[in-house]
Amino acid sequence: MTIATVNNYHNKVAQSRAIAEPTWFRWLLIGTALTFLGLFLFVPLFTVFHEALRKGLGLYIAAFNEPDAWSAIELTFIAAAIAVPLNLVFGVTAAWAIAKFDFKGKSVLITLIDLPFAVSPVIAGLIYVLIFGLQGWVGGWLSEHDFKVIFAVPGIVLATIFVTFPFVARELIPLMQAQGKDEEEAAIVLGASGWQMFWRVTLPNIKWGLLYGVILCNARAMGEFGAVSVVSGHIRGMTNTLPLHVEILYNEYNYVAAFACASLLAFLALVTLALKTLVEWQAKHAATTVEE
Amino acid sequence: MKINLKTSSVLPGFGPALGFTILYLSLIVLIPLSATFLKSTLYTWDQFWTTVTAPRVLASYRLSFGAAFIGAVINAVFGLLVAWVLVRYRFPGKRIIDALVDLPFALPTAVAGIALTAVYAKNGWIGSFLEPYGIHVAYTPLGVVVALTFIGLPFVVRTVQPVLEDLEAETEEAAVSLGANRLQTFHRIILPALWPALLTGFSLAFARAIGEYGSVIFIAGNTPMVSEITPLLIITKLEEYDYAGATSIAVVMLVISFVLLLIINGLQWWSTHRHGHGR
């Protein structure tokens, strides 16, 4: 999954005869693999767009011609616009400390950063309810000061930050570890300040990995359902993100509108995959030019 | 935690960087997570045990872990196949298909949930083919397996793919020149090299599937004792304002997730040290 993956295989062997399968067997394997991917990936993906447009373009557009849909889209972007930059800053800072310095407890720290991936999204929402909810640790104090976290936007933002927490860090740590610290040390010895070193040496070296992490982080931030569902309270036009809006429409048997909103998210996912592939190619290209 | 610098470095910013990392990690992750454990102490041990071993809760563990396990096994088998086909063969549309394998990472789970339900329902494209054979997928435990297979699909492919790419062709050629047939080469040479990556991918898919919520609830039908997953049960308890009950079940799931995380870390360490490859 890391960006450092390079497809060496075809360069190394031009499919040597001795270790190749017979043609019919090869196509059997390709056919089986594609059937599996078709049943689980391609057919469901196609269905989203098919169901959305089934009753014509008019009804499709009507699904977005609604204030609730717009406020859901807006909230989805707000949550991502806060969560992604925060986790970006955290990811760079954590990777700097972990990849460039030696200290005790480093592997424990790396495991702790990965924790949010191991936690069920539902539990990610629950933990904030336990702290900020009315029964929670600071819930009473918050309600006295008329500040709502749970069933309000701050809770949604917090839950989004939690589920996207490790994305940038776990992309940058192996990358920066592999790059070592020689270039940065040279910059400092030659008299660069800390910030000059960061902007001129570190950042150009990690830009593709950074972008890759941000793309994945953003996709998850905009698509998160479970964690946000627990803290949101599903108040229409107020605390509904786009994935939650899809759920409400679907449960109201308003399938066309539900799939119309879902198609927007599916489109975002496809854009994400395209950008991600582009960044992988760029990184591969950058790696080969450096080697040459 | 006491931090000792082992080697002095000319690079700046270690103190602030580590300080911010630990502060942010504590505020967002560690303190909220520990709140869950503290909250569960509101119950006595007996109350806790009764809650987490109630018949409805036990049935949900069986479904969540059982379906996650079956889904991960399906993904291990077909993920290996997909990785193999993508690395070793050439066919039209390969690059696009390679990119689309990551779709379950990028597609919001709610969208996956309603799409899978539409496809596998009685009148859906695939569901209508299965219906005459008496196979019902949507609104049954089988539907949960389908959703969890979808969710875990990229993990095995993406862990096995790089190892397969780096496999030396010379070893396989040597096996062939020593008289091994293709099946023996696969069984004796290729598969042993792939085991750590395959197991890592399997565990990642399994761990992800246990906690999955969004894609499952639409297709599961959510009948208590039959098709109700554990994360849904936590939400149900929350909606009944049974905070202690929800927290108790959450603690059980958290402990299991942490153990799985340690196992996965161990597997990745094994994988890295055998082949110089990590994720």
- A141 CA to chain B: closest CA distance, Å? 17
Nearest residue in chain A measured CA to CA from B29:
A162
Q: Best mutation site among B7, B8, B20, B29 for testing chain A: the one with the most A CBs within 10 Å?
A: B29
Residue A128 exposed, middle or buried by CB count within 10 Å (0-12, 13-18, 19+): buried
Query: What does the block give as tokens for A156?
Result: 């949604």
Tell me how far apart the alpha carbons of residues A218 and B155 are, in angstroms, rounded to a whole number.
19
Q: Report yes or no: A248 at the B interface, CB cutoff 8 Å.
A: no
Is it the case that residue B144 has pLDDT exceeding 80? yes
**Mean pLDDT across B222-238:** 92
Which residues on B lie below 8 Å from A246 (Cβ)?
A: 108, 110-111, 114
Q: Report chain B's mean pLDDT, rounded to a whole number.
A: 89
Q: Best mutation site among A21, A45, A123 for testing chain B: the one with the most B CBs within 10 Å?
A: A123
Sign of CA dihedral A144, A149, A152, A153: positive
**Quick check: B176 and A19 CB within 8 A?**
yes
Least CB-CB distance to A97: which of B14, B105, B232? B14
How is residue B5 annotated by DSSP? B
Percent share of chain A, pLDDT over 90: 67
pLDDT in tens, A59-85: 899 889 889 999 999 999 999 999 999
pLDDT in tens, B234-256: 999 988 888 889 999 999 999 99
Nearest residue in chain B measured CA to CA from A219:
B106
**Mean pLDDT across B170-188:** 82
Is it the case that residue B278 has pLDDT exceeding 60? no
**Mean pLDDT across A93-103:** 94
pLDDT in tens, B71-115: 999 999 999 999 999 999 999 999 999 999 999 999 999 999 999
Report pLDDT for A5: 41
pLDDT in tens, A134-192: 878 888 888 888 888 888 899 999 999 999 999 999 999 999 999 988 999 999 999 99
**Quick check: A131 and B115 CB within 8 A?**
no
Q: Angle at which helices A67-100 and B14-25 pack, to 10 degrees?
A: 140
Is it the case that residue A93 has pLDDT exceeding 60? yes
- Cα A82 to the chain's mean position, in Å? 14
How is residue B44 annotated by DSSP? -
Report pLDDT for A216: 94
**Quick check: B231 and A126 CB within 8 A?**
no
Q: Angle at which helices B230-239 and B243-275 pack, to 10 degrees?
A: 150
DSSP codes joined into one string, A151-209? TSHHHHHHHHHHHTTTHHHHHHHHHHHHH-SHHHHHHHHTT--HHHHIIIIIHHHHHHH
Query: What ipTM describes this predicted complex?
Result: 0.89
Which residues on B lie below 8 Å from A127 (Cβ)?
A: 32-33, 35-36
Report pLDDT for A290: 67
Q: Report yes or no: A119 at the B interface, CB cutoff 8 Å.
A: yes
**Quick check: A243 and B13 CB within 8 A?**
no
Beta bridge partners of B5: A103
Is it the case that residue B7 has pLDDT exceeding 70? no
Across the A/B interface, how many CB contacts are shorter than 8 Å? 311
For Cα atoms A27, A30, A36, give the angle at the middle one, nearest 5 degrees: 140
- A10 CA to chain B: closest CA distance, Å? 8
Residue B35 pLDDT level (bands cut at 50, 70, 90): confident
**Quick check: A42 and B89 CB within 8 A?**
no
What contacts B50, CB < 8 A, 6 or more positions away?
none
Residue with tokens 């890391």: A2
Question: In terms of Cα–Cα distance, which of A7, A12, A11, A22 is closest to B169?
Answer: A12
Report pLDDT for B8: 63
Sign of CA dihedral A111, A117, A123, A126: positive
- A183 CA to chain B: closest CA distance, Å? 11
Least CB-CB distance to B110: which of A41, A109, A246? A246
**Mean pLDDT across A27-51:** 95
Query: What does the block give as tokens for A90?
Result: 């955290």
Q: Which of helix, strand or coil describes residue A7?
A: coil
Tell me how far apart the alpha carbons of residues A137 and A123 are, in angstroms, rounded to a whole number.
17
Give the phi and the psi of residue B87 in degrees, each rounded to 5.
-85, -40
Nearest residue in chain A measured CA to CA from B206:
A118
What contacts B97, CB < 8 A, 6 or more positions away?
A34, A37, B86
Tell me how far apart the alpha carbons of residues B203 and B212 are, in angstroms, rounded to a whole number.
14
Tell me how far apart the alpha carbons of residues A135 and A149 are, in angstroms, rounded to a whole number.
13
Report pLDDT for B169: 78
Question: In terms of Cα–Cα distance, which of B128, B125, B111, B129 is closest to B219?
Answer: B111
Tell me how far apart the alpha carbons of residues A185 and A207 are, in angstroms, rounded to a whole number.
19
Q: Best mutation site among A21, A37, A132, A271 for testing chain B: the one with the most B CBs within 10 Å?
A: A37
What contacts B239, CB < 8 A, 6 or more positions away?
none
Q: Which of helix, strand or coil describes residue B41?
A: coil
**Structural contact between residues A152 and A239, judged by C-beta atoms closer than 8 angstroms:** yes
Least CB-CB distance to A128: which of B32, B91, B150? B32
Query: What does the block give as tokens for A183?
Result: 């270039």
Report pLDDT for A16: 56
Report pLDDT for A18: 61
**Mean pLDDT across B43-47:** 87
Terminal CA-to-CA distance of chain A, rounded, Å?
Answer: 25
Question: In terms of Cα–Cα distance, which of B161, B102, B125, B108 is closest to B279?
Answer: B161
Percent share of chain B, pLDDT over 70: 95
What contacts B89, CB < 8 A, 6 or more positions away?
A26, A29, A30
